[in-house]
A and B are shown apart, each in its own frame.
Chain A
Amino acid sequence: MSKVVAELKYSAEHEWVAVDGSGPAGIGISAVAADALGDIVYVDLPEVGSTVTAGETCGEVESTKSVSDLYAPVTGEVTEINDGVVSDPALINTDPYGAGWLFKVAVTEEGPLMSAEEYAAANGGEL
């Protein structure tokens, strides 16, 4: 399975950001993170309308074995959350870049982000 998707940008904390023109950016966690967590059973997302700040925690992802903080890769207002993953967190494992997206943000500022190549290099993944 291709673990890293070429067009997205990545944070050091394993979140991906999909910039969609001038619209809100989609946010999720990478396949690397999802694999490391194991089977995800619960996700705690920021509320719609709240502001997230790049580099700060904004939620949690919980697997059978552990809990990990979600870090906001960008600053801005949360415009939408994915109800699908709230009711079926396993989507994050099966489709972390697609149906497993987490929330969308109207970005006012980006945190430090890597290209797909840089993220792959930092995580031993192929592109």
Chain B
Amino acid sequence: MTENYTALYEQHKKAGASFTDFGGWQMPLKYNSELAEHHAVRTAAGLFDLSHMGEVWVTGPQAAAFLDYALAGKLSAVAVGKAKYSLICDADGGIIDDLITYRRADDRYLVVPNAGNAAVVAAALRDRAAGFDVVVEDASAETSLIAMQGPKAQAILLELVPADQHALVTELKYYAAVEAGVAVNGSVQDLLIARTGYTGEDGFEIYIPNVDAPALWEALLAAGEEHGLIPAGLAARDSLRLEAGMPLYGNELSRHVNAYAAGLGPVVSLAKESDFVGKEALAAIKAAGVGSTVGQKLVGLKGTGRRAARAHYPVLQDGTLVGEVTSGQPSPTLGYPVAMAYVAVEHSAPGTVLDIDLRGKPERFEVVELPFYKRNK
């Protein structure tokens, strides 16, 4: 498999990162201690290289109508400057990717697919654009993405933003984006800054051309040093999003999973006037009660002992198989094992006690509401 490297690879190497393959990219797994990186995000801030993710621009007079058709949500209802979490589904309702889309203008949207799905999503969007007055442009190869997440993220970012633009950042709401000046490489560049993230903390995702990414990375680390900012890798990213109850494509979501089982029913807009890919299948799935009265649903599980459940471990009720774990590990912030699993709906109510087969030994877990962790606002 060809390995891709982001524009920040040298920075990660210099910082002593250990690398892992993710979606065909060599990405930092951790720099020193994934626990220290996790805790930094919850108490100060962490800096993530997300340049492996995709960036697909959708532009044209029918951009909104096109996305209403191509995605499961009502993208035409998103106000300019706002963002929406959505799904791109196939015709039988299976999930091709979960992604965030930013509306930058009436006729211009930025769609951000996961790294492993970027090419497939760009291709699907191009296919689905047939008949719409719209241009689909995959800018992933030229675009880097740096995320800074944690309670100190705003204070750190403001150090790089001219004073007369501070309000653009301080007034930026969650799931919104703005273009603001950021001091990089000796000049102030207008960069797209989104107040979105995958950690459960406040934070920003900053889109920047590859050539300027190293300078921005180093400028943020320098500004953030006194605030406790450290670079954070994919190991910490995974433990943070799990605590925040967020699904990971490939674990909780896949082509074999539908939105209703995954608890993402609200993301699907069956009521929007337009047809969309997967509408018929999803309507039938919803009508059948999948994820509520029938089939399986995604739940949170809290360990009562010290040992953690891991992906694919069987979930049992009185010795009978009732589900399977999708993600699990010890929660660094909460101090107990946490897991997500698909479980038969009749055993999915919060408070239900189940056993997870931990490498041959059953261990008690309790169904709890997601998310496991919520930040104080």
Which of A's residues lie within 8 Å of B, judged by CB?
Answer: 38-39, 41-42, 60, 62, 64-67, 93
Contacts and interface: CB of A to CB of B under 8 A. Distances in A.
Contact of A64 (B235, B306, B307, B359): B235
- Interface residue range, chain B: 10 to 19
B239 interface: yes
A64 B310 contact: no
Contact of A42 (B239, B308, B332): B308
B331 to A, nearest CB: 9
Nearest to B234: A65
B109 to A, nearest CB: 35
Interface stretch (B29-37, B91-99, B163-171): B29-37
Given A42-B306, A42-B308, A65 B35 contact: no
Given A64-B235, A65-B235, A67-B359, A41 B330 contact: yes
A33 to B, nearest CB: 14
B329 A65 contact: yes
Nearest to A86: B306
A104 to B, nearest CB: 23
A64 B329 CA distance: 6
Interface centre among B30, B33, B35, B238 (most CB of A within 10 A): B35
B365 to A, nearest CB: 15
29 contacts: A38-B30, A38-B33, A38-B34, A38-B235, A39-B33, A39-B34, A39-B35, A41-B308, A41-B330, A42-B306, A42-B307, A42-B308, A42-B330, A60-B359, A62-B307, A62-B308, A62-B330, A64-B34, A64-B235, A64-B329, A64-B330, A64-B332, A65-B34, A65-B235, A65-B238, A65-B329, A66-B310, A67-B359, A93-B33
A42 B35 CA distance: 14
Interface centre among A62, A66, A67 (most CB of B within 10 A): A62
B125 to A, nearest CB: 33
7 tightest Cβ-Cβ pairs between the two chains A and B: A39-B35, A41-B330, A64-B329, A42-B306, A39-B33, A38-B34, A65-B235
Contacts of B235: 38, 64-65
Contacts of B330: 41-42, 62, 64
Contacts, number: 32
Interface string B218-229: 000000000000
Contacts of B34: 38-39, 64-65
A60 B359 CA distance: 11
Nearest to B36: A39
A77 B273 CA distance: 73
A66 B310 CA distance: 8
B373 to A, nearest CB: 15
A118 B102 CA distance: 56
Interface centre among A39, A62, A64, A65 (most CB of B within 10 A): A64
Contacts of B306: 42
Interface in B214-259: 235, 238-239
Contacts of A62: 307-308, 330
A30 B359 CA distance: 24
Contacts of B35: 39, 64
Contacts of A64: 34-35, 235, 239, 329-330, 332
Interface string B309-330: 0100000000000000000011
